[in-house]
Every structure is written in C-alpha cells, then in structure tokens.
Amino acid sequence: MVTINESYPNIGYVLNRLADIADTKSMAVNGTSRFRKEEDFASRKSLDPALIDKSIRHLFYEPIAKVVTKSFAHFFSGSISLGLSNYKEIMKRVPMEGVAQDKVVYMLNKHLVVETLASIICEVGTTQMQTRNVPDFYCARNPVKTVIEFYNNDHTLPEHDLKRYFKDTDRTVRKWCSGEELPNIGNLALLGQWASLSHPAASNNDMETLFLARFIDSFHRKTNFEFVDRLNDAVVWRLVHNGPPQLDFGKIFYEFYSNEISSANLRSLSAEGNELHQLLKRSIIKPHGSFTEYSTRLAALTDSIEEHDLSTELRYHEEWLQGRILILSGRIDAALEQYAKAVESSLYKSGSNIRELFKEALAVAAIQHKPHKPTMKKIKSRAIEFYPRIIAPQLQGVPVTITEEDINTWREWFAFRFPQCGWFEEGRETLMAHLQDIGWAELSNKGVPH
C-alpha cells in the first residue's frame, strides 16, 4: 500500500500528504515563494496553532478558493483542521511504541482520513441533492471517471461532448474518461466550465463536485483502493443516522495498541529495556566500571531492537538512553545532540516516557554554557501542546519564546534531578566543574530521588 501517513508523522508531514492528494500543493505559495518543499512547512517542527493555521491556509484555502469557491475552500480547510485535531488527541493519549509501522498507517487511514472524508462527502452531497442523499459518483471506485460520464450524459448538444470541447487535448481527455489519469487541479476550472454548459447556474456546485470527486479518487489511488468499501460504509452510516458516529479514537487506538503488544513476542525485549532503564535512572548510584558495562548493554539492546524490526518505533528510546549515558558521564555537548535526536524520533508518541524525555532534553539544553535556544524552543513548543504541566503557567505564552526564566527553571531542575549520586565516576569532575561555572553546583548535592 502506498501510504499517506507514516507511523508517527509530524503535523507538517500529514499536511504535505493531504495536499498531495488534493493537488493543492502545486498551486500553494508562501509569501513570494512556492510552498512545495518539506522545509517550507513551518508547522512540521511545531504544534503552534498559528503556524498550523497558516500552513492550512497556504496549502488548502488559497488554492481551492482559486479554482472552486471561497465558501467551499473555507469548509474544506475547516474539515482538514478538525481531522488534525482528532489526530493530535490520539497522539496525546495513546502510546504506540513497538507497533509495526504499516499497521499504524492502516489505522490512521481507516479511522482518520476515511471518517473525515465521509463527513465531507455527506455535507457536500446532501446539500447538492434535494432528496438529502449523496450522488452515487462520490462512492464509485473511480469518482472522476464516473462524474465525467454523468456530465457527458447530461449534455444534449453534440458540441458539448467532452472530447469535442477539449479537442486540442484529446489524448489527455481519453485518459480522464478511462480513469487512467486524474486531471490536475488547474484543469478543474476548464472541466467546471464544461460541466456547467447545460446548467450555468449550477457552476459552483459543479466545481465542488469535481474537486471532491478528484480528492476521493486520488485518496483511493494512493491507498491502493483499500478503503473504497470502508468509505462507502461510513457515508451510508451518516445518512442512516443523520450525522457522524461518536467515535472514541483514544479507546479505538488503545485497544489496537494493546492487542498488538500482547500478540507480539516482545516480552524479552521489554524486560531487557526496562532493566537497563532502571540501571540508568538519574539518581541511582552507578558502580565502578558500570559506564562500560551499561554502554555495552545498550549496544546489545540496540541489536535486539533491530532483530525485532522495531528500529523505527523504538529509536527514540535507544537515543534517549544513550543521551542519559552521555550526560551522566560528563559529555555535556554530545548529550544535547543525542537528546535532540531522541526528541525528533519521539514525535507524536505519548506517555510518561516522552514527558520525562522532554524534561531531560530541556534541562540538558539549559545547562549548556550558551543554551541553544532554537532547540529549547522546539521542545518547549511540543511540551506546551502535549504536556503543558511541565511548563510553568507564566511561561506558556504563544508564540513560544525562551527567556532567562526558562533557562534558570530548567538549570535548577537539572541540579535537583541529576544529583551527584547518580553520576558515573567518569563524569564527576567534568559535571561538577561545569555546574560551578554556571552557578548551580550547590544544589546538585541536594537532588531529589527520581
């Protein structure tokens, strides 16, 4: 299956894939530049609502408003926003560590894209039909092919025949009619003019129909037609019950996660990881020679993760423990780089592990001689969205900034939560000298147990 999501995609990635389906990315601009490259998606590294709204406007509202109508662009963009909200709520509540990527992709497509798309189809379709039904072409395997046939049959004059109307692009039109290719979003304006020949007053409805049919068709193609029946069933359910189902996405995904974990042979891997995690606790005394021993055990755990084919799902945990080893052994700069990698790998996973990872990453970033504010800003932004309790209320303002109060808060947290008793002997001298330089050495003897 060609996926439109990855196992734990960031929001920018999801927006990118949805824009690919809609073909709106080809028309999107960001200021004076095209809005096409991955790095253009400011929201992909942040959950700042303002950045996400800006991306949705560039990627969906503005392009759709050019080829359909502003009202439909507003409606469609709002539906995308609602779908993302559901997605974020799932990621906040449901840990998905250790689940095969393709299975999570399937669940995301099934319960997020399909449900959102079914609601759009019902809203548009029932508005267009006096009978409050949904046109059959929205539920076809190839909606664009079917809707073109519908309009072609509706035109009575020979000169209105699609192939005559587009006589200069006969080969392309034949591919549209056969379902071999989809028209790009730029062609929808011309198709809309053709579709409205018999009923000019319905031109706006025709453009909505063509855009929505193309979006559905594109989604089916990118998911190898796996969700055609599921989408139709979701539409029928809404028609029968006069509204969308009240789905508890958190419960659905939690049950899915639990079943996957219980059915997989992960007990030995889990025990191995948990034991190493306990040994590397911040406040646990590290025996003589333990730095080499624990480093060797982490390398063995990494090999075990690869053997279970879970590198993508558990990379963050491996990188987190490596960061813990580095900071406790006094390699402060290298530790920050490792924590930053772990945070990137943990995107949109959830649970107490990620909350603790965020705390440690902020603290390690703060104790640098010159704290790296861009790194702290990214982590703080995610924490405000997913774990706001770890950020002091007075520091939760948007847009996110890093102040001296932020830095001092997390330096103090480091001094308390990384006490001297938990340092490797290889790192004692370096860590103490560093904390003395930044003025927080005294508190490191008063650390609170983990």
Question: Mind giving me the DSSP string for 218-269?
Answer: HHHHHTTTTTHHHHHHHHHHHHHHTS-----HHHHHHHHHHHHHHHS--HHH
Q: What is the pLDDT of residues 400-433, one digit of tens each?
A: 899 999 999 999 999 999 999 999 999 999 999 9
**Residue 263: per-residue pLDDT:** 67
**Residue 354: per-residue pLDDT:** 85
Q: How far is Cα 300 from Cα 307, in angstroms, rounded to an integer?
A: 11
The DSSP bridge partners found for residue 29 are 34
Could you tell me the sign of the dihedral formed by the alpha carbons of 279, 281, 284, 285, in that order?
positive
Residues in the chain: 450
**Residue 44: per-residue pLDDT:** 45
**Structure-token match 């960001």, residue found:** 30
**Residue 45: per-residue pLDDT:** 46
Spell 2-15 as b/e; 16+ CB within 10 A means b: ebbbbbbbbbbbbb
| Nearest one of 1, 102, 3 to 312, comparing CA atoms | 102
| Nearest one of 309, 247, 354, 318 to 99, comparing CA atoms | 309
**Residue 127: per-residue pLDDT:** 87
Question: Domain residues of the chain, as ranges?
Answer: 11-250, 279-446
Cβ neighbors of 2 (< 8 A, separation 6 or more) are 222, 223, 224
**Residue 122: per-residue pLDDT:** 94
**Residue 99: per-residue pLDDT:** 65
| pTM (predicted TM-score) | 0.67
**Residue 383: per-residue pLDDT:** 86
Residues of the chain with pLDDT under 50: 1-9, 38-45, 448-450
Classified as helix, coil or strand, 28 is coil
Q: What is the pLDDT of residues 56-80, one digit of tens each?
A: 998 999 999 999 999 999 999 999 9
Q: What angle do CA 85, 86, 90 make, to 5 degrees?
A: 115
